[in-house]
Amino acid sequence: MSRNPADPSQPQVYGLHHAAYRCRSAAETCDFYEGVLGFPLSQALEIDRHPTTGEPVEYMHVFFDIGSHNPAEPNYIAFFEVRSRGEGDPGFEFKRQWGMDLHFAMAVKNHADLNAWRDRLAARGVEVEGPIDHGICTSIYFHDPNGYRLEFSTQNEREQSEFDGNRREARTVLQRWATGGTAGTGAG
């Protein structure tokens, strides 16, 4: 559950289970997430019906274990390769995503691990941006074969202190922004 829930009477939420996206090819996506990033394939589900409408639609749903703060309770990134579209599917345009539109960030332990990931990805032919110091964290960015922007991020003591300080001012900063104030600096 959130350390400080907005409504303490709410049922507990335990963080991310999975985030799911469309993919061009489940096999190509597996080659990247398992082969390049080393995230184990945890599920490969062949499904022939839409889970909420029941209409016929063939798709592969794959899950990769991306780790978590508690190794006994992993988090996942998941993908859908849709073979036959159902009536409600508007289609999907695969394109290289701009980080402000969509990105998926994962935590690593420290700056040394962040640099090791940068080197590992570059050695496997993946274009990497960073490390970029955002003040509240340091990140590297890269894209998967579907065009999704991914991020590995970490914090040292200085960055954690800055993050904690910004947390105390979050409501004030948001209110200033909402009333037409000027933008400050931040991370993403």
CA pair distance 170, 178, nearest whole angstrom: 12
What is residue 88's predicted lDDT score, i.e. its pLDDT? Answer: 65
SS3 sequence of 142-183: EECCCCCEEEEEECCHHHHHHHHHHHHHHHHHHHHHHCCCCC
For residue range 124-180, list pLDDT tens digits in order.
999 999 999 999 999 999 999 999 999 999 999 999 999 999 988 998 999 999 998
**Alpha helices (H) along 51-156:** 111-123
Collapse the DSSP code of 48 into the 3-class scheme (helix H, G, I; strand E, B; otherwise coil) and give the result: strand
- Cα 27 to chain centroid, rounded: 20
Residue 145 DSSP one-character state: T
Which residues 6+ apart lie within 8 Å of 63 measured at CB?
A: 18, 41, 42, 43, 76, 77, 78
What is residue 31's predicted lDDT score, i.e. its pLDDT? Answer: 97
Residue with structure tokens 């063939």?
58
CB 132 within 8 A of CB 140: yes
CA pair distance 28, 6, nearest whole angstrom: 41
> Chain-wide mean pLDDT for the chain?
88
Question: pTM, whole model, 2 decimals?
Answer: 0.83
Domains of the chain: 14-85 (3.10.180.10), 94-188 (3.10.180.10)
For residue range 79-115, list pLDDT tens digits in order.
999 986 766 667 777 788 777 778 999 999 999 999 9
